[in-house]
Structure 1
């Protein structure tokens, strides 16, 4: 648009402004050189020149463009040729213009109803999660374990001795998948083997954690969040009873499965990403 844009504003706003500032809004506007000739207040209507109205959205549009430029510097997406604009803000011609000017080498696709595209996608995904074959991890996922104590890197406060007189360090974050790592729908990423630290243990508890850091050291780090536990009942005795643990990403859930090596017995737990 090139002409003036008119907004209807409740008179209560003008009254409230006068009460707090001691002057009329229309008089206050005239004191600002930036808006003196581009904004006027008539009755209950605010009339704004098109260039001034566009300026209200400049920071938001430029921030989106800069964020996209940052994303396209990453190796995983630097060769992606197409941008699909969805969501309510994508309906803005101003945002569309900024993105097209900022990304002249990209093909810009804008659906007929950008605001509804997200909702439609969510409905389709809810009915058939396999429509998204691969996703990138938003967090680093792992379980809490113990490792041999290293006095050079482990704090003394986490040191303890197990039933076999091994000196161990507690609260270690054992990573299964890393933030930004591609994971396929319904596929397990890695299988880790664990053994109990107590000979008389009747069960092993696998506390599952998420972190927004690529390589957290301890589950007690500030970046870590406890998602829940998977408790696995053990047979026999001793500390050589190995249990394999693997994580599978399926839609909005993280599935953690444990399997006892000697018996093949399995148990799993699910953690809802939307919870």
Structure 2
């Protein structure tokens, strides 16, 4: 699922192109054994007209930009609510900077949502390599 991880990090709020995600052949074979149907048939059956398609020749799952946005909607909303809960506590009332670090911090969609939610309250700082920031300290 490294391909999905890469797409998750590169997806942007202004994206207009489809996100193509290569599915490992081991996953495709496992899915067929487990579910008794191909990935292609499952995608057609369960996601008809919902912005998701599958190209069996390439082993590629294709997600429309709106689908990528939907994948992030719930988790970004929860992250923002949690940050607001923390900011509303007396212990951090004077905090003016928010450091966005970790692998998910590379997501342009997450960055955009965080920026929009806190622009009037905090200065957002995102290091050059947010996925390595915790490791490096």
Structure 2 length normalisation: TM-score? 0.76
Task: Report the secondary structure of 1:80's partner residue.
Answer: coil
Give the corresponding residue for 2:134. Answer: 118
Give the corresponding residue for 2:112. Answer: 97
What pairs up with 1:5-44 in 2 under 5 angstroms?
5-32=19-46, 35-37=47-49, 38-43=51-56, 44=59
For 1:82 and 1:110, locate their aligned partners in 2 and report how far apart those are by CA, in whole Å: 10
Higher RCO (Cα < 8 Å, 6 or more apart): 2
Which whole-Å deviations, capped at 9, do the CAs of 1:81-115 have from their partners, x for residues lacking one? 22121222211111111111221312111121222
Structure 2, unmatched stretches of 5+, are 1-14
Question: Which has the larger strand fraction?
Answer: 1
Structure 1 length normalisation: TM-score? 0.40
What pairs up with 1:1-275 in 2 under 5 angstroms?
1-32=15-46, 35-37=47-49, 38-43=51-56, 44-105=59-120, 106-121=122-137
For 1:31 and 1:86, locate their aligned partners in 2 and report how far apart those are by CA, in whole Å: 38
CA shift in 2, pair 1:12/1:67, >3 Å = same
Could you list the structure 1 runs, at least 4 aligned residues long, displaced by more than 4 angstroms after superposition.
none
CA-based RMSD of the aligned residues comes to 1.7
Structure 1, unmatched stretches of 5+, are 122-275
For 2:36 and 2:78, locate their aligned partners in 1 and report how far apart those are by CA, in whole Å: 36
Larger Rg: 1
